[in-house]
């Protein structure tokens, strides 16, 4: 890693070292709210955008440059990794991702294929190399993947869900099938994230977007061992941001599963969340995304509240509690980044 990257504001915060101001990046920063993204998206399907390295690199780079954020995140999606594992994935207008051959029985899980040769995801690594070549020298690139539970829930439900009936039915009723699915997902995701790092990502984020539907007891039994195994299998020295949304009761267990940075959503005060995960890790978050619909004075006050909650402790990376929404005003998103950089100055020794 170059000295410029090592000493970047973002990576210093990951290591809980003092910074000149609070670093910020935003989940879904390359998204439909951004005119530059929509110009590219208007020419191709979403899946084509994900699988064309030239276009995926373009929207990744453009978002970082337009917003002035302290890290870029690879433009990709959680679910294409399921395609070579045997799932039929489509993105339907107005409905999002649909997998029309969901896993509902132990026999269905038998047809899931562990990926040993990551070349089938080569378009992702090509995108990483293109982005890394053109990013500013001091701007880290974040890679990512879905956590085992979240990917399993998509594969079992066939898409999003309100109550995760099918996923929980397999977890509770057929633990052998659940273990078999985890034993295919975990090594596949480990190779996938390691290959992203090898191609040029400095950090990876694991999204457990659906784990908030679980009780602490169920998370501990059915999820924690597998996420922990994934994180522990990654290359030594590769920082992991572990993000879970929907249930702050799970934060101590999220921390137990691992990660140098613990992502917090907006359902808890940042100071309380940091207490739950421990002050010996960095935290990321956690402005309510809907704050961006308020006027600028209110947005500024709410941004200040998050920064104040960090209390000047090294290791805070500003982000939303979840992703940017398609109807947000891009000028307000840019203003938010400027506010963080302004208000974060002096929050700790450099």
Positions annotated as catalytic residues are 28, 32, 41, 77, 154
Alpha helices in the chain (DSSP H): 3-6, 9-14, 35-41, 46-51, 53-67, 106-109, 122-134, 148-157, 165-173, 175-199, 216-218, 224-233, 251-257, 270-277, 296-310, 330-343
Element (H, E) at 98: strand 96-99
Distance of CA 280 to the CA centre of its chain: 21
Q: What's the token pair of residue 229?
A: 């195994």
Q: Residue 190: phi, psi to the nearest 5? A: -60, -45
DSSP helix/strand/coil, 145: strand
The answer to whether the beta carbons of residues 60 and 30 sit under 8 Å apart is yes
Q: In sequence order, what DSSP letters do the residues of 251-320 get, joined into one string?
A: HHHHHHH--SEEE--TTS-HHHHHHHH-TTSEEE--B-GGGGGS-HHHHHHHHHHHHHHHTT-S-EEB-B
Half-sphere exposure of 109 (CA within 13 A, CB side): 23
Distance between CA atoms of residues 78 and 245, nearest Å: 15
Count the Cβ atoms, other than its own, within 10 Å of residue 246.
16
């Amino acid at each position: 890693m170059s000295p410029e990257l090592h000493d970047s504001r973002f990576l210093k915060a990951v290591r809980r070292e003092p910074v000149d101001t609070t670093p910020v990046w935003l989940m879904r920063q390359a998204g439909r709210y951004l005119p530059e993204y929509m110009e590219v998206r208007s020419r191709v399907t979403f899946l084509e955008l994900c699988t064309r390295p030239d276009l995926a690199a373009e929207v990744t780079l453009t978002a970082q440059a337009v917003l002035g954020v302290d890290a870029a995140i690879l433009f990709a999606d959680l679910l294409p990794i399921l395609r070579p594992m045997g799932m039929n994935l489509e993105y339907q207008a107005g409905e999002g991702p649909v997998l029309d051959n969901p896993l509902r029985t132990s026999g269905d899980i038998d047809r899931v294929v562990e990926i040993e040769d990551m070349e089938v995801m080569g378009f992702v690594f090509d995108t990483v190399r293109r982005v890394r070549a053109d990013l500013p020298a001091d701007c880290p690139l974040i890679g990512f993947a879905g956590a085992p539970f979240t990917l399993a829930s998509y594969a079992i439900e066939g898409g999003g869900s309100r109550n995760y009936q099918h996923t929980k039915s397999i977890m509770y009723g057929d633990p052998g099938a659940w273990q078999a699915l985890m034993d295919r997902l975990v090594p596949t995701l480990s190779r996938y994230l390691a290959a992203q790092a090898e191609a040029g990502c400095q950090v990876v984020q694991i999204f457990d977007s659906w784990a908030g539907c679980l009780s602490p007891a169920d998370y501990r039994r059915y999820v924690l061992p597998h996420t922990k195994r994934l994180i522990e299998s990654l290359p030594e020295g590769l920082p992991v941001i572990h993000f879970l949304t929907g249930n702050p009761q799970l934060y101590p267990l999220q921390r137990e599963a691992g990660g140098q940075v613990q992502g917090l959503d907006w359902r808890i005060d940042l100071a309380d969340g940091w207490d739950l995960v421990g002050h010996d890790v960095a935290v990321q978050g956690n402005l309510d995304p809907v704050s961006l619909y308020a006027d600028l004075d209110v947005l500024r006050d709410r941004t200040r509240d998050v920064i104040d909650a960090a209390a000047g402790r090294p290791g805070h990376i500003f982000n939303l509690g979840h992703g940017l929404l398609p109807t947000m005003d891009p000028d307000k998103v840019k203003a938010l980044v400027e506010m963080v950089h302004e208000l974060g100055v002096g929050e700790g020794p450099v």
